[in-house]
């Protein structure tokens, strides 16, 4: 049991890993022993975050704006070079949202959200399949973890129509990929976070005080903690999660399961 969650010697890519949920995830993987590459749209933020997290282990900044499939192809090449062709884990976490009332919800709210949240993850996976397949085995598969959302599973009333549709899409894409890649020793799962203290929920909080109306929607009556999302990702990336594929795992304080 002592090494059940050990990721020593593993390599992982976390898109959007410089801030928010992505940083929580990256720190968790580093703490478990993995070498981690992170992306962020802004180079200065990406490099500063990697420098700070390097106290936990090898953390490589790969600034990248994943708003086009071409950018995902370029990122895949940089990942190959950074890890000398070895890759055990991809966490597709980078995301984009757009909220607004339905009567004025613009058409321009759709393409960018769908590219970042669905197409770019697919392109990145496709491009890195050789590395993932080479790193995986029947005893220890490679892992693809797509960060979805409770918004793609239940009606969250966020008025973020393209976002919720994109998250439902990445959940289904994860299941499709899991079935197609299981014979190639690659596990694919979707993780569905609920409400965590990130920029995306800043309008629902005032420092540590959380909107009571929001807490009323969460059976556990609190936001998630960094170690709770990180622990789920480490579990799915480690020997402990080797027999799990094609799953949608909520990390949401009971919003989905207790509904």
Catalytic residue list: 163
| Distance between CA atoms of residues 21 and 198, nearest Å | 7
| Distance between CA atoms of residues 25 and 13, nearest Å | 10
Check the CA dihedral 219-224-228-230 and report its sign: positive
The residue with tokens 């080797």 is 242
Q: Where are the alpha helices (H) located in the chain, listed in sequence order?
A: 20-31, 43-53, 69-82, 111-114, 120-135, 161-181, 212-215, 226-237
Q: How many CB atoms lie under 10 A from the CB of residue 144?
A: 26
Token pair recorded at residue 160 = 């973020």
């Amino acid at each position: 049991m002592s090494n059940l969650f050990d990721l020593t010697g593993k390599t992982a890519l976390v898109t959007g890993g410089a801030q928010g949920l992505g940083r929580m995830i990256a720190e968790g993987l580093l703490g478990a022993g993995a070498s981690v590459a992170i992306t962020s749209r802004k180079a200065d933020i990406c490099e500063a975050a990697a420098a700070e997290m390097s106290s936990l282990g090898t953390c490589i900044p790969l600034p990248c704006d994943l708003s086009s499939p071409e950018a995902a192809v370029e990122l895949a090449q940089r990942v190959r070079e950074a890890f000398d062709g070895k890759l055990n884990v991809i966490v597709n976490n980078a995301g984009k949202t757009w909220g607004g009332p339905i009567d004025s919800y613009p058409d321009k709210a759709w393409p960018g959200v769908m590219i970042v949240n669905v197409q770019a993850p697919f392109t990145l996976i496709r491009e890195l399949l050789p590395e993932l397949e080479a790193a995986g085995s029947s005893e220890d598969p490679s892992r693809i973890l797509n960060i979805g959302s409770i918004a793609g599973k239940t009606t969250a009333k966020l008025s973020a129509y393209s976002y919720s549709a994109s998250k439902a899409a990445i959940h289904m894409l994860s299941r499709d990929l899991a079935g197609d890649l299981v014979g190639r020793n690659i596990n694919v799962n979707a993780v569905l976070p609920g409400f965590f203290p990130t920029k995306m929920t800043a309008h629902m909080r005032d420092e540590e005080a959380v909107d009571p109306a929001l807490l009323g929607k969460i059976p556990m009556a609190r936001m998630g903690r960094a170690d709770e999302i990180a622990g789920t990702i480490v579990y799915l990336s480690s020997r402990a999660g080797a027999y799990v594929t094609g799953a949608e795992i909520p990390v949401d304080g009971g919003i989905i399961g207790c509904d």
